[in-house]
């Protein structure tokens, strides 16, 4: 499986993006949410660098599965002190990508299970609804960090509410267990045909 994944390139401007029709899927979330770890787990490869200095990279990193589809790894948000409303305005490349890139199929938004939806995540979801019609899938990460049964129950309750309120598909993942990530992977592969 992992031999089929490759690093394509890192892009800093819209016109550096590949010029073809291969479907693309964004992976995004707050800095430190576990995005690189999840991408590495999905691809069974140390393809995305983990624990990069938060907020440092302002570029998109592109990975590709055969010639079938791509994962676009966006820089994490929520690290710098810029106002939440300006997150996208400041990042012209992401803004343009979301508005104009026809290859984009779906957006996987990663959320830390311990913090659930922070106000910046809600802002990002609102912005995404405004500028892109693409489906947003919520991927909760680091589920293993919720230790007590009591907290886990509370957590499930809150996730149930989020699912109802936002009407989104949700995955509850941890890189310590493969079951849910396998489901996520199946969903991703099936989405290529949508
Ligand atoms: P990124 O900044 O979103 O790419 O986050 P990273 O993938 O670099 O992860 C940030 C930190 O969280 C690292 O120390 C990871 O080892 C840790 N981490 C990521 N996913 C998990 C998880 O599912 N469980 C646990 N316990 N730690 C995780």
Beta-carbon contacts of 52 under 8 Å, excluding residues fewer than 6 positions away, are 36
29: CA distance to ligand 1 center in Å?
12
**Cα(143) to centroid(ligand 1), Å:** 11
* Token pair in block for residue 175: 């890189």
Per DSSP, the residues of the chain read: -GGGEEEEEEESSGGGS--S---EEEEEEBTTSSHHHHHHHHHTS--SPSSPPTTT--SEEEEEETTTEEEEEPPPBS-S-S-GGGHHHH-HHHHHHHHH-TTEEEEEEEEETTT-S-HHHHHHHHHHHHH--SEEEEEEE-GGG--SHHHHHHHHHHHHHHHHHHT--EEE-BTTB-HHHHHHHHHHHHHTT-
Residue 101 pLDDT: 97
Report field, pTM of the whole predicted structure over 0.85: yes
Give the burial class of 74: count Cβ atoms within 10 A of its Cβ; 0-12 exposed, 13-18 middle, 19 or more buried: buried
Ligand 1 neighbourhood includes 145 CB (under 6 angstroms): yes
At residue 89, the pLDDT reads: 54
Residues 6+ apart with CB under 8 A from 105: 23, 24, 25, 69, 134, 191, 192, 194
pLDDT digits (tens, 9 = 90+) for 60-109: 899 999 999 999 999 888 766 555 555 555 578 899 999 999 999 999 99
User: Could you count the other beta carbons within 10 Å of the beta carbon of residue 101?
Assistant: 16
Spans in the chain with pLDDT lower than 50: 56
Which one of 27, 28, 37, 54 would you pick to mutate in the ligand 1 pocket, going by the greatest count of ligand atoms within 8 A of its CB? 37
Residue whose token pair is 């140390």: 46
The predicted structure's pLDDT at residue 91 = 78
Q: Which of 35, 50, 155, 180 to mutate to test the pocket of ligand 1 (most atoms within 8 A of CB)?
A: 50
pLDDT score, position 150? 87
Spatial distance between the Cα atoms of 16 and 165, rounded to a whole number of angstroms: 38
């Amino acid at each position: 499986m992992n031999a089929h994944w490759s690093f394509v390139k890192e892009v800093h401007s819209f016109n550096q993006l590949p010029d073809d029709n291969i479907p693309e899927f964004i992976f995004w979330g707050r800095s430190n949410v576990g995005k690189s770890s999840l991408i590495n787990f999905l691809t069974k490869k140390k393809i995305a660098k983990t624990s990069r200095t938060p907020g440092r990279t302002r570029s998109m990193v592109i990975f590709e599965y055969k010639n079938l589809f791509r994962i676009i790894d966006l820089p994490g948000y929520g690290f710098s002190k810029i106002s939440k409303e300006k997150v996208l305005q400041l990042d012209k490349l992401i803004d343009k990508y979301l508005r104009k890139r026809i290859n984009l199929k779906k957006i996987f938004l990663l959320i830390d299970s311990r913090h659930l939806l922070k106000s910046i995540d809600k802002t990002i979801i609102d912005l995404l609804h405004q500028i892109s019609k693409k489906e947003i899938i919520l991927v909760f990460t680091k589920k293993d960090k919720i230790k007590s049964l009591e907290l886990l129950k509370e957590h499930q309750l809150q996730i149930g509410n989020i699912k109802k309120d936002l009407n989104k598909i949700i995955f509850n993942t941890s890189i310590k267990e493969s079951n849910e990530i396998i489901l996520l992977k199946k969903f991703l592969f099936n989405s290529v045909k949508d």
